[in-house]
Amino acid sequence: MTFDLALTGSDLLLLLPEILLTLWLCLMVCLDFSMRKITHQNLAYLGIGGVLATLVVLIWFDLTGITGTLFKNMFVLDRLAIFFKIFILLATALVMCSSIDSVRTFRFFKGEYYFLVLMSTLGMMFMASAGDLLSVFVTVEFSTFGFYVLVAYLRDDLRSSEAGLKFFILGVFAAGLLAYGISLVYGETGTLIFSDIAGTSGSYGMTIGFLLIFAALGFKIGAVPFHSWIPDTYQGAPTPVTAFLSIAPKGAAIAILIRMFYVALASFKPMWVLLFIAGSILSMTYGNIVAIAQKNIKRLLAYSGIAQIGNVLIGLAAGTKQGSDAILFYLLTYLFANLGAFAVVIGVSHIIKSDEIEDYSGLNRRSPFLAASMLLFLLSLAGVPPLAGFIGKLYLFVAAIDQELYTLLIFGLINIIISMYYYLIVVKKMYINEPLDPSPLTVSIPLKTVVYVGIAGTLLLGIYPKPFIDWAVSATLMFSNIAGPTAAAGSIFGG
């Protein structure tokens, strides 16, 4: 494979968002080192400014329809990539905004925190554009390195170090699987590019290779049975990092999954549909059932995140255009509800220094604002109308019924009821129990902003979802001709 690195101006334009963010990163590092007086807070605002500037560029791309590919399909900038880049940048901006309070309590390396966050973001933006297996490997590792450091950021905290270690070991293990899988696929097909793999015929080596790749990406999204690192890592990591980890890498990995299975493996759909049905059922059921027993809100959100990924996999199991639309929209609803919930957790833990659900007792008396917004976010996660999560789940179920995946549907529905139960436990603590310490809680302005954005998103996507659905639909236009109902899957799971 030879690369022609003579990039023209129009080629560079496709890379503009990444180039802009890279330059911004360098600027931030330089400022942090050279200007002693710059506060971490201003650095955060500067970083958010960079993210927003990149967002503007991407929105401009989306509106004017600037798309293209570079380096022989290694880097793909289509509307799907733009969607996920906007998604990741939105998450990054909200996470940086909600980090400001927590970073103040760090003892060292306050400036580097934002640098690392942005670097991971950069990696994930490349993930969204990965068009062949080599760039999948490079970009996944690129984005994960930032997280290895971020998770263990509280150096003197035993839990944080433990979380970092677990995350690192399993992450490296996943990287090994990924590399091995890629090598198998390359050995069998002689190509790494998704669109070229699509033309090859299947073989055992290729099946094993893709299973390994799926396993590695399963680690990233935290789908059962690759979820084991999630609870401890989520609990031990600084809460803003947990929030970041719970949404952005999942989005980026889902982008790769969609691209890989819809483009490279479209002709093997009857096989991978079964894989996703199994993954979805396992993730939803395991995540929801184990979440019931949790006493720590971060662990609860970790398990609920596993279950939510199970919901997302419903869309992949449908394996249709409708399914991918539903995934994109669902991820948007998840972004607002999940980051909003984490923002509340950050706000509460900042004052009461605890993440135990027990300590949320009587939150409504201490801060009606935080309690009401938490209620809203949890209900949206559970899928109660008229909030965003309901429309998201409705779309996923519509996609599943369209493909006659009734078994999957029944599991999805039962899981809604189970999830409602543990979300209600938190609601009960906040609203019905009396507080141990009735002093009011106050929230800082940046955190409040995040909560407000979360509320606005959760309500808007629920009440007026049309523009967002249209956006998701147009982002996956290229999958319009993906195979219809699968005879093989239908005969097995169609009962």
Phi and psi, residue 202, nearest 5°? -75, 160
Taking the least distance from each CB to other proteins, the nearer of 70 and 420 is 420
Q: Are 298 and 242 in contact (CB under 8 A)?
A: yes
Taking the least distance from each CB to other proteins, the nearer of 20 and 384 is 384
Taking the least distance from each CB to other proteins, the nearer of 107 and 466 is 466
Distance of alpha carbon 292 from alpha carbon 285, whole angstroms: 11
Q: For residue 404, what are the CA distances in angstroms to 323, 490, 494? A: 13, 7, 6
Vertex 328, ends 289 and 311: CA angle to 5°?
A: 15
The three state secondary structure string of 425-484 is HHHHHHHCCCCCCCCCCCCCHHHHHHHHHHHHHHHHHHHCCHHHHHHHHHHCHHHCCCCC
Residue ranges in 293-360 assigned as alpha helix (H): 297-318, 321-352
- Contact residues for other proteins, defined by CB under 8 A: 364, 375, 379, 384-386, 390-391, 394, 397-398, 401-402, 409, 413, 416-417, 420-421, 424, 427-428, 431-432, 464-466, 469-470, 473
Burial class (CB in 10 A: 0-12, 13-18, 19+), 439: exposed
Which tokens go with 316?
């992949």
Taking the least distance from each CB to other proteins, the nearer of 424 and 488 is 424
CA dihedral angle for residue 453, residue 455, residue 457, residue 463, rounded to 10 degrees:
-150
Taking the least distance from each CB to other proteins, the nearer of 120 and 322 is 322
Give the three-class secondary structure for 238.
coil
Q: How far is the CB of 412 from other proteins (least distance, A)?
A: 9
Taking the least distance from each CB to other proteins, the nearer of 164 and 362 is 362
Taking the least distance from each CB to other proteins, the nearer of 243 and 387 is 387
Q: Please, what is the angle between helix 79-105 and helix 321-352, to 10°?
A: 10
Q: How far is the CB of 466 from other proteins (least distance, A)?
A: 5
Q: Are 385 and 434 in contact (CB under 8 A)?
A: no
Q: How far is the CB of 276 from other proteins (least distance, A)?
A: 19
Q: Are 249 and 117 in contact (CB under 8 A)?
A: no
Q: How far is the CB of 365 from other proteins (least distance, A)?
A: 9
Taking the least distance from each CB to other proteins, the nearer of 56 and 293 is 293
Q: How far is the CB of 440 from other proteins (least distance, A)?
A: 15
Q: How far is the CB of 408 from other proteins (least distance, A)?
A: 12
Whole-number CA gyration radius for the chain: 22
Taking the least distance from each CB to other proteins, the nearer of 240 and 383 is 383
Report CA 46 to chain centroid distance, whole Å: 24
Taking the least distance from each CB to other proteins, the nearer of 265 and 427 is 427
Q: How far is the CB of 474 from other proteins (least distance, A)?
A: 12
Q: How far is the CB of 87 from other proteins (least distance, A)?
A: 21
Amino acid at 11: D
Between the two ends of the chain, the Cα-to-Cα distance in Å is 47
Q: How far is the CB of 473 from other proteins (least distance, A)?
A: 7
Q: How far is the CB of 326 from other proteins (least distance, A)?
A: 11
Q: How far is the CB of 318 from other proteins (least distance, A)?
A: 13
Taking the least distance from each CB to other proteins, the nearer of 197 and 281 is 281
CA dihedral angle for residue 54, residue 60, residue 62, residue 67, rounded to 10 degrees:
-90
Q: Are 171 and 219 in contact (CB under 8 A)?
A: yes
Q: Are 356 and 298 in contact (CB under 8 A)?
A: no
